[in-house]
Amino acid sequence: MNRKGSDFAGLSVALVTPFRDGKLDKPALKDQIEFQLEAGTHCLVPVGTTGESPTLSHLEHEKIISEVIQITAGRAKVMAGTGSNSTAEAISLTQWAANEGADATLQVAPYYNKPTQEGLFQHYRAVSEAVDIPICVYNIPGRTGRNIEPETIARIAEFGNITMVKEATGSMDQASQVLAMTDLTVLSGDDTMTLPLLSIGAEGVVSVVGNIVPRDMLALVRSFAEENLNAAREWHNKLFPLCRDLLSIATNPIPLKAAMAELGRDTGELRLPMTPLNDSQLQFLKETIAHYGLESVSV
């Protein structure tokens, strides 16, 4: 089957938003983007969950989208995180991203207000009708409090510019249903689930750990695409402990930013209500990245 959204197959990286003294650290953002481009990352995903979007002002949200598009300058795709639990707000942010030149938008399911399945359908219909760029439905019920059921995704998939699903339910059954019922491209929304999801028909990943080891995540995805299953399994087994620990020590992106700070690639600064790792957590993180073969540096 030729699936909609297959041009976004491969490695997408959910970028952190670097802060320094409470403000966007633009030089660090540029360095991060260049790091990803040098690694061969296919698509950059700013201002999603990993980018601490809930703590950004609307002006900051728009500014970061614009900065990423301008710095990337067509060297990779940009899928801007523009979702909201307010449909009007999601439309406004998405129209901004489209006008700035984003290649696609990542639309998280409306969170906290827990709409019905009909409400979810109407939300995505309204966003779809407001813009022309491809839309990736982001289904992460652990964060939003509401699963977009496969039957609802099948209804949403009828809209021409709904082309992808970022699958973060943790359910292989749900992913299988979406793949069987629609022609949408499925992207893993959980690093540890990338290979299992590829095995049933997913075509890529929106990665968190790709912020620090994009080449390794890309090698996993490419190995599978080239039908080198032994190499794909080897990369999965190597990456799994790092992915698991970065997602289990504390809420994303707290451990990721700490790891990036240890590697000299970020200040590690967070915005409340996100708080830094405690001493024991930080020591565990240091051991994890050292075991992987990454070298800590002073920052």
Q: Mind listing the pLDDT tens digit for each residue in 28-37?
A: 999 999 999 9
Catalytic member of 166, 238, 257, 292: 166
Residue 12 CA to residue 77 CA, distance in Å, equals 9
Annotated catalytic, 77? no
The catalytic residue among 77, 124, 138, 257 is 138
Supply the Cα-derived Rg of the chain in whole angstroms: 18
286 is catalytic: no
Mean pLDDT across 96-107: 98
Per-residue confidence at 204, pLDDT binned at 50, 70, 90? very high
Calculate what percentage of the chain has a pLDDT beyond 90. Answer: 96
Q: What pLDDT, on the 0 to 100 scale, is given for residue 295?
A: 87
- Which among 216, 289, 211 is positioned nearest to 257, based on CA atoms? 211
At residue 202, does pLDDT exceed 50? yes
Output DSSP code: residue 189.
Answer: S
User: Two tokens at 196?
Assistant: 């299992």
Q: Which residues sit opposite 204 in a β-bridge? A: 10, 187
CB-based contact 124:135 (threshold 8 Å): yes
Hey, where are the domains in the chain? 6-213
* In the block, residue with structure tokens 């590690």: 268
* Closest C-alpha to 153, from 129, 173, 131, 175: 175
The span from the CA of 221 to the CA of 170, in Å, is 19
For residue 253, which of 267, 273, 239, 274 has the smallest C-alpha distance? 274
Mean pLDDT, range 119-139, rounded to an integer: 98
Residue 29 has a CB neighbour count (10 Å cut-off) of 21
How is domain 6-213 classified at the architecture level of CATH?
Alpha-Beta Barrel (3.20)
Asked if residue 238 has pLDDT above 90, the reply is yes
Determine the Cα–Cα distance for residues 285 and 279; give it in Å rounded to an integer: 10
Residue 187, classified by CB atoms within 10 Å of its CB into exposed (0-12), middle (13-18) or buried (19+), is: buried
